[in-house]
Amino acid sequence: MKLVERDALLEQLEGLLHGAGNGAGHVVLLGGEAGIGKTSLLTALRERAGAATWWGACDALETPHPLAPLHDIARGADAGFGALLSGGAERIALFQSVLGELQAATRPLLLVVEDAHWADEATLDLLKFVGRRIGQTRCLLAVSYRDDEVDAAHPLRGVMGVLPHASTTRLALSRLSAAAVDEMARNALRTSDGIHALTQGNPFFVSEVLRHGVEGVPSGVQDLVLARYARLSHEAQAVVRLASLVPARIERWLVDALLAPRLDTLEECLNSGLLVAAAESLAFRHELARVAVESSLPPTLAQDLHARVLAALESDPRADASLARRAHHAARAGDAAAVTRLAPQAAQQAQQRGAHKEAAAHLRTALAHAGGLADAERAHLLDSLSYENYVTDRLDEAIDARLAAQRLWHHVGNGLREGDALRWLSRLSWYNGRNDDAEAYGERAIAVLEPLPPGSELAMAYSNRGQLHMLAGRSAEAQEWSQRALALARKLGDRDIEVHALNNLGSAMLNADDPAGRGILERSLALALENGFDEHAARAYTNLSYYAGLAAHDNKVSTDYLELGIAYCEQHDLDAWTRYMSAHRAETLMWRGDWDRAADQAEAIANAPGVAPISRIPALVVLGRIRARRGDPAARQSLEDALRLALPTGSLIRLGPVAAALAEAAWLEGDIAAIAQAVRLAGPLASQSTYMRWISGEVAYWRWRAGAAFEDELPWPAPYALQFAGRWREAADAWQALECPYEAARALADGDSDAQCEALATFERLGARADAERLRRQLQAAGVRGLPRGVRASTQANPHGLTSRELEVLVLLCNGLRNAQIAERLHRSVRTVDHHLAAVFAKLGVGTRAEAIAAAHAAGLAGEK
């Protein structure tokens, strides 16, 4: 049927494809519900544009096959990456080969990836890899997905969030109007009476009704499909039933092998409109129809058919079925022996492709059928499942699986595997904020491994112990254990563990103010880069930026390493490390007084789904501090969220900044008792810390602000020591030398009236509304005249002190946009927009959207840009 109400979208897509042909590669994210016409629209684009096309789809398998769209493309196009795909090449080499072919195209290329809501992890990583670099190609990458199945936590959202805004367009297909349904009915020579009400304008439902008609009013597509299925002959129904059990398409040879249908039976299936013929295969015209038939089958019949399909795929030389597909049929057939044979192989293949979520799913399927396996075999599966859960941020499940494996290894008497499992439990517990458990498991691992012949497991257990000491600020112990790990790793020739131990050693030395640690950390980084140890390189960049930069308040060093590290991690798609370093970059920006950029970056991390606590905590602290300084009521929630995540860690590096931020917020509110309460959260940790002097120093600073005495003999950082001594001018100079303008102004605020006026000007420039109002009242009480009006440059045009971003949100609100639309326009999350609107409502003194719009018009803000 002819497309209706899609001309504007089709023209827009044609324009983007034309632009891609001129060197402006682009990504289109095409969303819409099932049956809305995404495939039809992309097919029309292909036919009208006549461009070279690569077309692949994601499958609705129980556990998807890694990189299924690439396999489709390799079968249907002369793609040079096909050899790498079939040969099991490293993922990065495969991705670079795909990108290389796209970059080599000399005319427009349409690359379609359908049904990305079903995409495996490796396919999502490919979309991210290509999408970030799409501007270097002549390709239009069109990604279709069901938007009603992609919520905020869906993995596809993580891909959407990192695509470059300038080269990404989001399109949403809407349902058809009543007029469009009337037009379709006229084209089909049918009456349109009641069809729009029945179908609600869903194009697939409309076409089904017009194509085949209905008697009475069906409840939905299942009734439509099953009514048509029921009119088929028994032989044709058997073909349709079999096809419904195979997502995407079923091979003709498989249909012939299991049913041997006559040609007229196949023609009956095609004439019914349920199935369509492709190259040597049959497929349902729409996934909705396939699911409708599959879900109607009796369980015993479906199980028997799955068993027959599996037997054919395993025995017929014509079969080229993936491990994932065979594991799918084995599980649906209830064949435990086949599942425990196929699912671990499918998991290994998925892991090699970087599809860790799918690998974990295969392993869970295997374990669900593993009742007949030996304890050691189940322990191996649990070890593998724990690792896959770890790399996909399912830390609780990773710990549970590793603990179950450790118990099985202990039961079978395999000390080497038990000790390694304990070492893994230590690492996993630390990542999950359970520091006491991490220490205990680390000690047990060494106790189990030391009586055994020394190997890599013991060397890694030593390095893990050094890492835990380093992270806790116990530098002497960290260096001792790291040296042990280094000696054993070098004796064994294990470069991987050597790099890990060097990282711990260099970080611990820097934490103890030994500058030689920086050279050791840089040696760790060089070895990691030389050997392709991506995660070790990311960790080295992180620790160099922190221990050589941020922890020492050297903002330049911190910025330099962070920029290099973030670029490296983005290039290698190490998103967890990118987020962690981006959180520290936001902190560096905050110290340097670049609050708008700091808040934007911190918001992006704090509100993103699936972010680990070690990244969310610093992001929330930055967000909470800036909001508190600006008088934003959302500050309290940010800091409470940070405290909730930091408390279980018991670590000064996590709790110290949160305690200091809470104390600062209390100071800005004039609540001295709350300051004392906040610093008690980290007080014992800070007083015990020989190192991490800057964190301890800030905690002490707020104790001092609350009226507590301070310890002269402790080696406080110079700016804090000078302030404790009442030498406010020198303290301000020291802060200024460190590129910390806000802290310098805070020191000047302790000085004479001239210094306080200087501080007030800085507070106004930064937008530190709470500090500025406090200091202005103090100066006015002292009789100082001629003070600034009290409005920062970006808010001089409005009397309510709105920030530029808050004003932007208010203008869009006045233009009639809802929160989700504002988020889309500003490339922010809905939650971020909610925070901005809460601040706007508080500053305007209103409680509803209507009141905010009225207040904006009254203040002349509704038209601000």
Domains of the chain: 7-174 (3.40.50.300), 181-333 (1.10.10), 804-858 (1.10.10.10)
* Mean pLDDT value of segment 223-230: 84
Per-residue confidence band for 792, with pLDDT thresholds at 50, 70 and 90 = very low
Lowest mean pLDDT among 295-304, 363-372, 841-850: 841-850
Tell which residue, 743, 599, 739, has the closest CA to residue 660. 743
Per-residue confidence band for 756, with pLDDT thresholds at 50, 70 and 90 = very high
Instruction: Write the pLDDT tens digit of every residue in 556-606.
Output: 999 999 999 999 888 877 778 889 999 999 999 999 999 999 998 999 899
Q: What is the mean pLDDT of the chain?
A: 88
**The predicted structure's pLDDT at residue 865:** 39
Say how far apart CA 295 and CA 693 lie, in whole Å. 64
Per-residue confidence band for 216, with pLDDT thresholds at 50, 70 and 90 = very low
Say how far apart CA 373 and CA 396 lie, in whole Å. 25
Q: Are 20 and 108 in contact (CB under 8 A)?
A: yes
* Mean pLDDT value of segment 539-555: 90
Higher pLDDT residue, 494 or 92?
Answer: 494
Per-residue confidence band for 712, with pLDDT thresholds at 50, 70 and 90 = low
**The predicted structure's pLDDT at residue 217:** 38
Q: Are 332 and 350 in contact (CB under 8 A)?
A: no
Q: Cα Rg for the chain, rounded, in angstroms? A: 31
Q: Are 570 and 132 in contact (CB under 8 A)?
A: yes
Per-residue confidence band for 814, with pLDDT thresholds at 50, 70 and 90 = confident
**The predicted structure's pLDDT at residue 35:** 84
**The predicted structure's pLDDT at residue 549:** 87
Q: How many CB atoms neighbour CB 858 within 10 A?
A: 10
Tell which residue, 437, 373, 436, 371, has the closest CA to residue 402. 437
Using left for φ > 0, alpha for ψ between -120 and 50, and beta otherwise, residue 142 falls in: beta
| Parallel/antiparallel/unpaired status of strands 281-284 and 250-251 | antiparallel
Map tokens 């209830």 to a residue: 334
Q: Which long-range contacts (CB under 8 A, 24 or more apart) does 616-621 make?
A: 616/583, 616/641, 616/642, 616/645, 617/583, 617/642, 617/645, 617/646, 617/654, 617/657, 617/658, 618/583, 618/584, 618/586, 618/587, 618/657, 619/583, 619/586, 620/645, 621/587, 621/657, 621/658, 621/661
Instruction: Write the pLDDT tens digit of every residue in 94-141.
Output: 999 999 999 999 999 999 999 999 999 999 999 999 999 999 999 999
* Mean pLDDT value of segment 186-200: 75
Instruction: Write the pLDDT tens digit of every residue in 71-81.
Output: 999 887 777 88
Is 246 strand, coil or helix?
Answer: coil
Q: Residue-wise over 358-374: b if at least 16 C-beta within 10 A, else e?
A: bbbbbbbbbbebbeebe
Predicted model pTM: 0.73
Side chain identity at 439, as an amino acid letter? Answer: E
Say how far apart CA 839 and CA 620 lie, in whole Å. 16
Say how far apart CA 283 and CA 170 lie, in whole Å. 29
Q: What percent of the chain has pLDDT over 90?
A: 56
Per-residue confidence band for 791, with pLDDT thresholds at 50, 70 and 90 = very low
**pLDDT of residue 178 exceeding 70:** yes
**The predicted structure's pLDDT at residue 674:** 92
Instruction: Write the pLDDT tens digit of every residue in 399-417.
Output: 999 999 999 999 999 999 9
